[in-house]
Structure 1
Amino acid sequence: MSRILIVEDEESFSDPLSYLLGREGFDVQVVDNGNDAVSEFGRRGADLVLLDLMLPGQSGTEVCRQLRQRSDVPIIMLTALDGEIDKVVGLELGADDYVTKPYSSRELLARIRAVLRRRKDGGELSGPSVEAGPVRMDLDRHVVSVNGADVPLPLKEFELLEMLLRNSGRVMTRGQLIERVWGADYVGDTKTLDVHVKRLRGKIEPDPSLPRHLVTVRGLGYKFEA
């Protein structure tokens, strides 16, 4: 049974969400502030975190930052703020996805199941390792090394990098990457892809402002150059 930690201070959202997920067979824990979220995750962990952006105590962005420092647990941000900047900030801090309130139960469940399924399967096309240029990925251990030094990556960055490395030298269109990493049923902002590419460059490129490996192919998408 997958364990989901809900971090939400509004009972009008957390109560029906907890009931919905419990009915669907998930083990659910609810906390209503950022401080308790970090403490609860430290005590019992989780397979996925649903994290509200606006929280008392520590903000959702700060909780996301702290969780990402210690774990690659999938994080889906819940926000009533529909501004692009809020979504981008959450993604840059390491969130895997976001859902804007009010959200449909069907959409949220689909996203949760898709993330957990990919997590369990280890990604579509998994093998023991993938290597190109200075980057090596140990798929069994979920470890990435760049020039021999380990680099921690959250789930979505790991899956995106794996897809690019497996197709090293080939252009992957934006549509291909979004479908393979986020799923064919993904309905969010396509800027999610650009944010994750930017974060990957910051971790694998000697100079992220002048990428040599993860390059943009204007009008098409991205490719990994060894």
Structure 2
Amino acid sequence: MTNIHEGDLDILLVEDDPSIGGFLQAAMDREPGYRLYWETTLKDAWRAWEKRQIQEGRPFALVLLDLGLPDGDGQGLIRRLRDHGGEQALIIVISARGGEADKVQALDSGADDYLTKPFTIGELLARLRAHLRRRPVGSSAESSHWVIGVLELDDLTHTLRKGGVPIPMTPKEYQLFHLFVMNQGRILSYRRILGAVWGEHSSDQAHYVRLYIKRLREKIEDDPGMPQYLVTEKGVGYRFGNPEVSK
């Protein structure tokens, strides 16, 4: 697994617009510890990824990906990276396509976040820092115990406590909350949640997700009407919102 932390980032930028690419190159060059490698096509991006991942064994920690590229749509590259050593990389889409359908498709393909052009470097860095806070050094998919604010999740006993007090949960509620903990910082679309918890055959049953999110909020949030843990991403899905996650 690649441990990702601020100040030690190799970034693959896939962007064919020279003005945006040049802007990001110059901006990242001014940020200590950020090293940006810029490619303009899907073919060259994959070649750069393959060289780093397969030949050198040191994958990129972050991919900034445009969708409309000269040799195809970036959606396919997201899936390819996830399937070839990019499980732990942050993938942030940067695109002029601001429609809900494009965002959902990118997130379903495996992107962590979606930033609509035009954007400022401050906004990009703020998003990046938010993701890094949710991926502390030493966390891993093999962890069995998490402390999340006042919540404590134990995967060995399938128990959740709030302030030391056990919270009764159904198996589906536990499975759903566990999914969010295992995807800290990622936006999870309705389709991804349904596929992981209820199976792909339930992809048109978004009301399942809303119902169970409501139940979980009533159990874990101090104020279910203003959730701090299970945060709504309007029209897209949900994000695990508390950054204080440790193994």
**TM-score by structure 1 length?**
0.64
1:52 and 1:17 mapped to 2: Cα distance?
12
Matching residue of 2:16: 9
SS of aligned partner of 1:119: coil
Aligned residue identity for 2:9 = S
Q: Aligned with 1:49: secondary structure? A: strand
8 A contact 2:41–2:69 mirrored in 1? yes
Partner of 1:161: 179
Q: Note closer, same or farther for the CA distance 1:14–1:199 as it changes in structure 2 (3 Å cut).
A: same
Aligned-residue CA RMSD (Å): 3.5
Distance 2:112 2:180 in 1: 16
**Contact 1:130–1:162 (Cα < 8 Å) also in 2:** no
Kindly indicate whether residue 119 of structure 2 is the aligned counterpart of residue 93 of structure 1. Answer: no
Among 120, 125, 149, which residue is 2:147 paired with?
A: 125
Q: CA deviation at 1:13?
A: 0.1
Given candidates 62, 75, 78, the residue that maps to 2:91 is: 75
Q: Shift of residue 113 of structure 1?
A: 1.9
Deviation at 1:118, TM superposition (A): 2.4
Corresponding residue number in structure 2 for 1:64: 78
Q: Which has the larger radius of gyration?
A: 2
Alpha-carbon deviation of 1:131?
A: 4.6
Letter in 2 for 1:23: R
Q: Secondary structure at the match of 2:11?
A: strand
Amino acid at match of 2:195: G
Corresponding residue of 1:201: 194
Are residues 160 and 13 of structure 1, via their aligned partners in 2, closer, same or farther at CA, if it must alter by over 3 Å?
A: farther
Displacement, 1:130?
A: 2.0
Q: CA deviation at 1:210?
A: 8.7
Please say if residues 49 and 60 of structure 2, whose CA atoms lie closer than 8 Å, have aligned partners that are also in contact: yes
Q: Structure 1 stretches of 5 or more lacking a match?
A: 134-157, 166-176, 183-191
Distance 1:159 1:116 in 2: 20
Structure 2 Cα separation of the partners of residues 132 and 216 of structure 1 = 24
Q: Which amino acid aligns with 2:194?
A: R
Within-5 A mapping of 1:205-224:
205-206=198-199, 208-209=201-202, 216-218=209-211, 221=214, 223=216
For 2:50, which of 42, 55, 65 is the aligned residue? 42
Aligned residues: 173
Q: Is the 8 A contact 2:194 2:203 kept in 1?
A: no
Residue ranges of structure 2 left out of the alignment (5+ in a row):
1-7, 53-58, 141-145, 159-175, 218-247
- Alpha carbons of structure 1 residues 112 and 36: separation in structure 2 relative to 1, 3 Å: same
Quickly say closer, same or farther: Cα 1:4–1:207, change in 2 above 3 A.
closer
CA 1:85–1:160 in 2, change beyond 3 Å: closer, same or farther? Answer: farther
Partner of residue 40 from structure 2, selected from 26, 32, 35: 32
Give SS of 2:147's match. Answer: coil
For the structure 1 residues 162 and 217, does the alpha-carbon distance in structure 2 shift closer, same or farther, using more than 3 Å as the test?
A: closer
